[in-house]
Amino acid sequence: MIREGTAIILLGIALSGLAAEPPAEPPTARPRIGLVLGGGGALGMAHVGVLEALEELRVPVDCIAGTSMGAIIGGFYAAGMSPAEIGELLIALDWWDLLNDKTSREYLGFRRKQDDARYLFDAELGFRPPWRVLVPPGLSAGQKLGILMRRETTAVASVRDFDSLNVPFRAVATDLISGETVILGSGNLPMALRASMAVPGIFTPVELDGRLLVDGGVVNNVPVDAAKAMNTDIIIAVDVGALKAEAIKKNLSNFATVLAQSFLLMQRPSIQSRIKEADVLIQPDLTAHSAADFHHAAQIIPPGADATRAHAEELSKWSVSEEEYAAYLRKQRRSRQPPQHVAAVRVDGNHRVDERAIRAVIVTRPEEELDFGTVERDVARIHGMGDFQTVVYEVRPSTGGCDVVYTVQEKPWGPGYLHFGLRLESNLDDESAWQFLLNYTLTRINRLGAELRMDADVGSDQRADIEFYQPLNPSAAFFVAPRVGSSSSVLPVFEDDRKIASYDVNLTDAELAAGMNIRDMGELRFGAVGGYGTAELNSGAEELPEFDGVIAGFTGRFTVDRLDHPFFARKGSYFQASAFLSRPAIGAEENYDKVSAEYRQCATVGSHTLQLSLLGASSLGSDIPVYDRFTLGGLDTLAGLSRDQLAGQYAGLIQVAYRYELARLPPALGRGIYAILRQDAGNAWDARGDISLSDLRYSTGLALAADTGIGPCGIGFAIADRENHQFFFSVGTLF
């Protein structure tokens, strides 16, 4: 899901302006040509078109200096990518996902998957007793973008001197302490590119050689001086930040563009003075686009080529013969690295997190052939543990092959975190509910990775829970999890579709559970629970039984979660089976059993998604008290009926939902807008003999929903049994 943090990241980029033998010096018969690529957020993708046109004109580029997006494009070209390859990459990228640090759900550990549906946004606050709240240094650490940079510069991974790249290169950053321009000409190329686009407050700063570096566009958005320092004779500068008046007026209604334009206005005086030193100034006409239009790469690239071709007569002075240019391209284009074997796997940078826990999710092994896809999946799983701000890898030459080094940076605002959840529901008539969740999670309490999770949930229902989760080995394959909690809720009672009463249900209990994790897919746990509960009638039929006594029993739950999204899944499956066995032998007032199972499967073709859901529940022939029976009804089950309208000793439900993606939301708002059609069939029964397909209740619902920064939002209409109908809306997460 694209959340609010991703939207601000896009804004941040909009405010900012990517081993071979050293290439031979250009012949003395022609001048040394330097290319300067300025910053400008998504508008910087026009640099690809500039490179395309320069190649058409056979103008060799002897060195490149770039800032922010200009550094990314220039760095990719210097590493050996062709303009066509860079363009295809930018067009194919899912920018909504790329600029979001959140690990893809398939690589999250199971406990982090549980969190995925609970909390607003993806941002978290640090908390240290007694009352110290810590804010992350940036909304994004550029995790996925950094991995992309490493992937695309793999061919030059061993190069440390940027003069030895396929094309000599400089990335420009800013020293956050002194405010000075920092020209990066050596070191780790992906890290240099990451530093050049680290917008203060948006992306976290990068520490290199004792300096804290941020986006070069802060002080030097079109770095002509960096190219001149590389002994160039001719400077070709590309300025993508000079929006025309009509483009500015067109987008001033957009909050992001207003701030971006204000930032660019502050930069213009220094930019104007620098670009005067260029021999050729290329300013693409990007009137139709904004600096946040990353998903419009296919439309932004061509204006760069058009603007360059407009200077064809001037540039042709430096055109070389076909033979000479072919020789230049042979040096510029990257070559495939021969297969490498892994000599060792190392982990650096961890302090709180035990190295054994990290190694437990690493698949790459010594003496195997190096596979960069496997390495990247290792990085995703390490990042998915939830403890790290960034996780990067390096492939370092060593005796007998190469060392793969995973370098982690633990979250400086950890290990205690505050999270928030919100959910609102209404049938737009007489039924509504709201919940607000405040969560505090303290992680890495000991070397085995113990966690303390504390929930306070207020609203229509109230709940407080404290769980201590203690893994029994570094890989967390086995665990124990004691829990204490208290809850208060209202349970309606219906008869013949008419509400006849409601219970106030209060419970205080404690549970001791133990179990095992099934890799990152699921969990099996068993436990015993005991406590005290009451179920008192607060309205309606006085003849209904009440409860006041001890609750005790055995619990079990088996869960496998392979969905790629908690709410708008496109692929994967989900299964959960649970049981509660109330037993007087251990102190319970009642003797009964509750078992249930739920299954979901999703499949997608293009913009069309089909989801099948099944639910079954049984008392196993026992007599479940009226206040604890299985219930159906409400937005999630038989939406045309009221919440918990159907109740019984047995329940069954089948759902078939069709979802169509109508549009992608602007990154500032979320990810997508969907039309949803859902057909439900199910019922609840008091006796096994009553269960019959002819007794099913049916509900058809139609909704318009959106995947937004605060979770799923939807509004719709549902009708059940041709006579019960409801309009409804919902906002927020599940917890």
The catalytic residues are 68, 215
DSSP-based three-state secondary structure for 295: helix
Cβ pair 560, 640 in contact under 8 A: no
Cross-strand pairs, 171: 66, 184
Map tokens 């960069």 to a residue.
372
DSSP-based three-state secondary structure for 208: strand
* Half-sphere CA count of 386, side-chain side, radius 13 A: 24
254: alpha, beta or left? (left if phi > 0; alpha if psi -120 to 50): beta
Helix (H) or strand (E) holding 391: strand 388-398
- Distance separating alpha carbons of residues 663 and 698, to the nearest angstrom: 30
- Distance separating alpha carbons of residues 222 and 232, to the nearest angstrom: 16
Pairing state of beta strands 33-37 and 234-238?
parallel
Structure tokens at 48: 């690809």
Intra-chain end-to-end CA distance of the chain, in Å: 17
Closest by Cα among 277, 257, 272 to 221: 272
Give the list of residues 6+ apart from residue 265 with CB closer than 8 angstroms, or none: none
Structure tokens at 59: 């103008």
Cβ pair 384, 428 in contact under 8 A: no
Question: Is the N-terminal amide bond of 130 cis, ω within 30° of 0?
Answer: yes
- Distance separating alpha carbons of residues 395 and 397, to the nearest angstrom: 7
Structure tokens at 339: 């297969």
- Distance separating alpha carbons of residues 414 and 707, to the nearest angstrom: 28
Map tokens 């420009």 to a residue.
172
Pairing state of beta strands 211-215 and 206-208?
antiparallel
Distances (CA, A) of 360 to 24, 332, 353, 554: 47, 40, 12, 31
Q: What does residue 232 show for φ and ψ, rounded to 5 degrees? A: -90, 155
Map tokens 């969990």 to a residue.
523
